[in-house]
Amino acid sequence: MIPQLPAAHLKAWLAAQAGQAVVLDVREPWELQTASVRPDGFELIAIPLGELASRFGELPAQACVACLCHHGVRSQHAAAFLDRQGIAAVNLQGGIDAWSCELDPSVARY
């Protein structure tokens, strides 16, 4: 089972990973242009879900990954895929929508 990480707990989760965490945004490029997060103390990597199987090697070795999408469905699939590859992953519950509501209201909702 993939751990579900509420947006409000992201900073604490990142701190607990001692610099070994990244946020993986699996949304499409047009979505990134519509609403994007600003990395604050973490590395942000954007790989659309449809490309993840061929590009997951772009993730840093030994990183813990918090997966992000619009509402949390695609990121759940991404986290499950990464877990099957032996990569520690959590799903950011509620996606960028929750990010906007709970962490940064300047991020556009769509």
For 59-77, what is each residue's pLDDT tens digit? 998 899 999 999 999 999 9
pLDDT at 39: 84
Cβ atoms 52, 78 nearer than 8 A: yes
Count of CB atoms within 10 A of residue 48's CB?
17
pTM beyond 0.85, yes or no = yes
37-65 average pLDDT score:
93
Confidence at 79, pLDDT banded by 50, 70, 90: very high
* Average model confidence (pLDDT) across the chain: 95
Percent of the chain with pLDDT over 90: 86
Per-domain residue ranges of the chain: 4-102
For the domain made up of 4-102, give the CATH fold: Oxidized Rhodanese; domain 1 (3.40.250)
The set of residues, in sequence order, having a beta carbon less than 8 Å from that of 106 and lying 6+ positions away, is: none
Laid out side by side, the sheet with 21-25 consists of 4-6, 89-93, 64-68, 21-25, 43-46
Give the separation between CA 52 and CA 18, rounded to whole angstroms.
Answer: 25
- In contact, 110 and 33? CB cutoff 8 Å: no
